[in-house]
Amino acid sequence: MQRQAPVKDEHRATGTLIGGVAGGLLGSTIGGGKGKTVATVAGAAAGAYGGNQVQKSMQEKDVLTSTETRCKTVNTRSEKLVGYDVTYRLEGKQGTTRMSFDPGKQIPVRAGQLVLSPAESNK
């Protein structure tokens, strides 16, 4: 994004002053007597105006460039299987466990213990 840079010399005093001095010096080299004074004053006025306009033109070309990052929040919803909550009955007692795989209708039992991993249930 580009925008005009803030102006430091809002009234363009620098350009006006330098232009006025240069114009006055140039005007003082013309003519003699009262004509020289008139030429000096006219040169200073013209130089001041010219310097002001030159500075204005330069200030309008000063730009600031910046990069903007625009973010937005996106809410998404998803479902993920984390396991199977299984209720079982073993030796007359009811229990609950979470399994990483679907055990089907029955959970294998080995040595009086539930087989809760898929690798063990296939043996």
pLDDT digits (tens, 9 = 90+) for 77-108: 999 988 999 999 988 999 999 988 888 888 88
What pLDDT, on the 0 to 100 scale, is given for residue 75?
A: 94
Question: What is the residue type of 121?
Answer: S
What pLDDT, on the 0 to 100 scale, is given for residue 77?
A: 92
What pLDDT, on the 0 to 100 scale, is given for residue 5?
A: 66
pLDDT digits (tens, 9 = 90+) for 8-58: 767 567 777 777 777 777 777 876 777 777 778 787 887 888 888 887 777
Segment 108-123 shows an average pLDDT of 78
Q: Check: pTM over 0.85? Answer yes or no.
A: no
pLDDT digits (tens, 9 = 90+) for 57-76: 777 777 778 788 999 999 99
Helix, strand, coil share of the chain (percent; to 5)? 40, 20, 40
What pLDDT, on the 0 to 100 scale, is given for residue 53?
A: 81
pLDDT band at residue 121 under the 50/70/90 scheme? low
Q: CA 26 to CA 46: how far, in whole Å?
A: 11
